[in-house]
Amino acid sequence: MKATLQNYNVRMQRVLDYIDRNLDADLCLDTLSRVAAFSKFHFHRQFAATFGMPMHRYVQLARMKQASARLACEATQSVTAIAMDAGYETPDAFARAFRRRLGQSPSSFRSSPDWAPWLAAFGPLDNARNKLMQIIFDEHDVTIREVAPVPVAVIEHRGDRATFGASRDRFLAWRKAAGLSPETSPTFMVFRSERCPDNPDDYRADLCVAADHPVEANPMQAKAGLIPGGRCAVLRYPGNTNNLEPAALFLYREWLPASGEEAGDFPIYSRRSLSRIPEIPAYEAVVELFLPLK
Q: Fold match between 2-128 and 139-292?
A: no
- In the chain, the percentage of residues whose pLDDT exceeds 90 is 46
Contact 225, 168 (CB under 8 A): no
The helix/strand/coil state of 180 is coil
pLDDT tens digits, one per residue of 16-67: 989 989 998 999 999 999 999 999 889 988 998 888 889 999 999 999 999 9
- In the chain, the percentage of residues whose pLDDT exceeds 70 is 92
Contact 15, 22 (CB under 8 A): no
Q: Which superfamily is assigned to 2-128 in CATH?
A: Homeodomain-like (1.10.10.60)
The stretch 184-196 carries a mean pLDDT of 90
Instruction: Tell me which residue of 110, 104, 73, 287 sits closest to 182, measured CA to CA.
Output: 287
CA 130 to chain CA centroid, Å, is 11
What single-letter amino acid sits at 153?
A: A
122-131, 233-242, 275-284, range with the lowest pLDDT: 275-284
| Range list of H helices, the chain | 2-21, 29-36, 40-51, 55-73, 79-85, 91-102, 106-111, 115-130, 164-177, 245-250, 256-259
For strands 150-158 and 230-237, give the pairing: unpaired
Contact 292, 263 (CB under 8 A): yes
Q: Break the chain into its structural domains and give their ranges.
A: 2-128, 139-292
Q: Does domain 139-292 have CATH number 3.20.80.10?
A: yes
Whether 1 has a pLDDT exceeding 60, the answer reads no
The helix/strand/coil state of 25 is coil
d(CA 118, CA 71) in angstroms, rounded, equals 13
What pTM was estimated for this model as a whole?
0.64
